[in-house]
């Protein structure tokens, strides 16, 4: 898988791939079943032309399934064209429903969802305002401002009461809490 782009519609690719495989395998299995039961079918009146028509439809269905697988790998290897191939997968899956029951409809349903997801997929924006921060960008987080009352500033601007320890403004002559007079 070396050389494939990093970003691609992963789910769309996987569902389309599984759907295409189911459509192909089921078509080929039913063809094998028709051939295995050829004598029984002809005994029931389903011989010759009728069987040949069913087999032809199933072979077309198998080809449609292979094309869906191819489209899935185009979505995987060239995500820029995922929109086009998504539509292609949807069309192929719809045709396979009418031609060969689309892998018991499950394969066609998976391919339809996968094609739709590939169609809807967009490559991530290359701008630094995208989902990942650019390397070297300043962190957006900053510490919150301190909440609640700011504690009284100690130091040259204030003085501590020698009796109760309360902090008072420097020019105070009496302690605001206990009323003790300050020396000096
Ligand atoms: Zn005091």
Give per-residue pLDDT as tens, 160-169: 888 898 998 8
Across 1-5, 59-63, 74-78, 133-137, least confident range: 133-137
Question: How far, in Å, is the centroid of ligand 1 from the Cα of 168?
Answer: 9
Q: Where are the alpha helices (DSSP H) in 37-180?
A: 38-43, 49-77, 82-100, 106-120
R_g (Cα) of the chain, nearest Å: 38
Express each pLDDT in 53-103 by its tens digit: 888 899 999 999 999 999 999 999 998 889 999 999 999 999 999 887 867
Element (H or E) spanning 17, and its range? helix 10-36
Question: How far, in Å, is the centroid of ligand 1 from the Cα of 146?
Answer: 27
Question: How far, in Å, is the centroid of ligand 1 from the Cα of 127?
Answer: 62
Average pLDDT, the chain: 82
State the pLDDT at residue 130. 46
Question: How far, in Å, is the centroid of ligand 1 from the Cα of 174?
Answer: 8
CA 182 to CA 101: how far, in whole Å?
A: 100
The predicted model gives 127-140 an average pLDDT of 53
Question: How far, in Å, is the centroid of ligand 1 from the Cα of 28?
Answer: 98
Question: How far, in Å, is the centroid of ligand 1 from the Cα of 170?
Answer: 13
Burial 77-103 (b: 16+ CB within 10 A, else e): eebeebbebbebbbbbbbbbbebbbbb
Question: How far, in Å, is the centroid of ligand 1 from the Cα of 147?
Answer: 27
pTM above 0.75, yes or no: no
Question: How far, in Å, is the centroid of ligand 1 from the Cα of 180?
Answer: 5
Task: Name the band, by pLDDT with cuts 50, 70 and 90, for residue 110.
Answer: very high
Task: Name the band, by pLDDT with cuts 50, 70 and 90, for residue 159.
Answer: confident
Task: Name the band, by pLDDT with cuts 50, 70 and 90, for residue 171.
Answer: confident
Of 33, 75, 86, 83, which is closest to residue 58 (Cα–Cα)? 33
Question: How far, in Å, is the centroid of ligand 1 from the Cα of 148?
Answer: 24
Percentage, residues of the chain above pLDDT 90: 41
């Amino acid at each position: 898988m070396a050389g494939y782009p990093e970003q691609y519609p992963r789910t769309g690719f996987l569902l389309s791939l599984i759907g295409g495989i189911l459509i192909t395998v089921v078509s080929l299995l039913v063809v094998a079943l028709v051939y295995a039961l050829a004598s029984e079918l002809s005994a029931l009146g389903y011989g010759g032309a009728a069987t040949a028509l069913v087999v032809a439809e199933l072979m077309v269905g198998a080809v449609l399934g292979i094309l869906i697988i191819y489209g899935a790998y185009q979505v995987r290897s060239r995500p820029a064209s995922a929109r086009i191939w998504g539509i292609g997968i949807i069309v192929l899956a719809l045709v396979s429903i009418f031609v060969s029951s689309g892998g018991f409809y499950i394969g066609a349903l998976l391919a339809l969802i996968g094609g739709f997801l590939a169609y809807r997929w967009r490559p991530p924006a290359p701008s630094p305002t995208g989902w990942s921060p650019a390397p070297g960008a300043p962190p957006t987080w900053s510490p919150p401002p301190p909440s609640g009352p700011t504690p009284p500033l100690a130091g040259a601007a204030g003085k501590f009461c020698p009796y109760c320890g309360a902090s008072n403004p420097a020019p105070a002559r009496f302690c605001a809490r206990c009323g003790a007079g300050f020396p000096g």
